[in-house]
Amino acid sequence: MRTTAVNTSHSRIGQHHVVAPSLYVADTPTALVFAAARMRGPIARDDIAKMTSLSVATVNRQVTALLNAGMLRERADVSAPRAVGRPRIPLEVNHQQFATVGMHIGARTISLVATDLMGRTLDAVEVSTPHTRQDAAMASLAGIAHRYLSRWRRRRLVWVGVAIGGGVDPATGTVTHPRLGWRDAPVGAVLGAALRLPVSVASHVDAMAAAELLLGNRRFRPPAATTLYVYARETVGYALVIGDRVYIPTGGPGTIAALPAYSELLGGSGRLESTVSDEAVLAAARRLTILLVDGRTATTAVLVRMARGGDEIAAALLADRARVLGEAIALLRDMLNPDDVVVGGQAFTEYPEGMSAVQAAQAEKSVLPLLDIRMSTFGNRVQEAGAGAVSLSGFYADPINAMRRWSARRHTFAVSDQQPQASA
């Protein structure tokens, strides 16, 4: 196997592998046919035509292309009794042959996830985020990804998706992440050069909003609406979904880290992120002596267990965090007036008991009518789901073109030497 050491001078090679993510629900004929097979398969061609409102001739053309690309397969074994002709042979996504790899790069941990073309998680692991100078960190990322890919043997890995905080340029795959000390870090190009696969990079909150849109919603052609997605864990952020598309400003996502926030119990600088982050909550717990000052292994999960075990101070800290987050959501609601609000990240999902405080604070502070806040479909696995959505977005938006991109990379390089094959 080739070495995984990567210098950022190689990023010119990897830049050819960077593809901007497609964080939207596509309505082209090929995308509609693939979505129908993904959501309702095994499904017959004429049923796809009814479901998509496409003509049978159009469906047949798309099915033929998707079969030739290996993305669909026929299931004659599940045909209805006495069914005659190919239009009645059910089709389904070829979910056993291909897989994508997602990486969520957090301030402390990296989540790696392998996903099939149905959007189902095959495997997930966590490793520590490298905290070294930028060039060394890029090489470490490449090594981490390469080692993960080498675990697979019987599947073909076709795409890599990266979800990360900070400022992201989706077109170039570069990232500026002050907390990690990265400036214009060529994340996409470095991974592309190391793995010889197409790579898409997205802001992590945009990615998580895309996961709700592409993977969490199992309805076909969901109604267009505006959804506000709010994330909180070690960092805070938001994304806006408009008309079945994650809205990505030209200059990159905005920030809510400096929104005004006040908590006498949690302390902080009067800004949202420094008040509700995991680090801030644990610091408050140590200050109130319910956690050891030098307890390096203390986590918010420990605090949650204490609250559920009857510790009143732990419960009060988590409730106040929820209140502050609810007030921030109220402010965002009043500015954006979305049709729907979804929250994700362990600040919400790890302690769902706090949602009543989130709802109450939103109701008290917002001038708009009461709106129920929904929890992320993916619970504590939302980071993995976001990275998986980025890795799959190209296939869901334009299946044939995405497969052609992968095939072009595959024939350009010696796959046996450059890319480990995947295993089930």
For the chain, the three-class secondary structure string (H helix, E strand, C coil) is CCCCCCCHHHHHHHHHHECCCCCECCCCHHHHHHHHHHHHCCECHHHHHHHHCCCHHHHHHHHHHHHHCCCEEECHHHCCCCCCCHHHCCEEECCCCEEEEEEEECCCEEEEEEECCCCCEEEEEEEECCCCCHHHHHHHHHHHHHHHHCCCCCEEEEEEEEEECCEEECCCCEEEECCCCEEEECHHHHHHHHHCCCEEEEEHHHHHHHHHHHHHCCCCCCCCCEEEEEEECCCEEEEEEECCEEECCCCCCCCCCCCECCCCCCCCCCEHHHHHCHHHHHHHHHHCCCCCCCCCCCCHHHHHHHHHCCCHHHHHHHHHHHHHHHHHHHHHHHHHCCCEEEEECHHHHCCHHHHHHHHHHHHHHCCCCCCCEEECCCHHHHHHHHHHHHHHHHHHHCHHHHHHHHHHHHHHCCHHHHCCCECC
Q: Where in the chain is the domain with CATH 1.10.10.10?
A: 29-93
- Please tell me the predicted confidence (pLDDT) of residue 339: 94
Q: Which is higher by pLDDT, 221 or 290? A: 290
Confidence of residue 18 (pLDDT cuts 50, 70, 90): very high
Half-sphere exposure of 331 (CA within 13 A, CB side): 13
Q: Percent of the chain, pLDDT > 90?
A: 78
- Residue 297 has what pLDDT? 65
User: pLDDT tens-digit profile of 43-69?
Assistant: 999 999 999 999 999 999 999 999 999
From 5, 290, 31, select the one nearest 147 (Cα to Cα): 5
What pLDDT is recorded for position 98? 94
CATH of 29-93, one of 3.40.50.1820, 3.40.50.2000, 1.10.10.10, 3.50.30.50: 1.10.10.10
Mean pLDDT of 197-220: 91
Q: Across all residues in the chain, what is the average pLDDT?
A: 89
Q: Is the pLDDT of residue 173 over 80?
A: yes
With cut-offs at 50, 70 and 90, classify the pLDDT of residue 260. Answer: very high
Homologous superfamily of 8-19+96-211+382-418: ATPase, nucleotide binding domain (3.30.420.40)
Tell me the CATH number for domain 221-380: 3.30.420.40
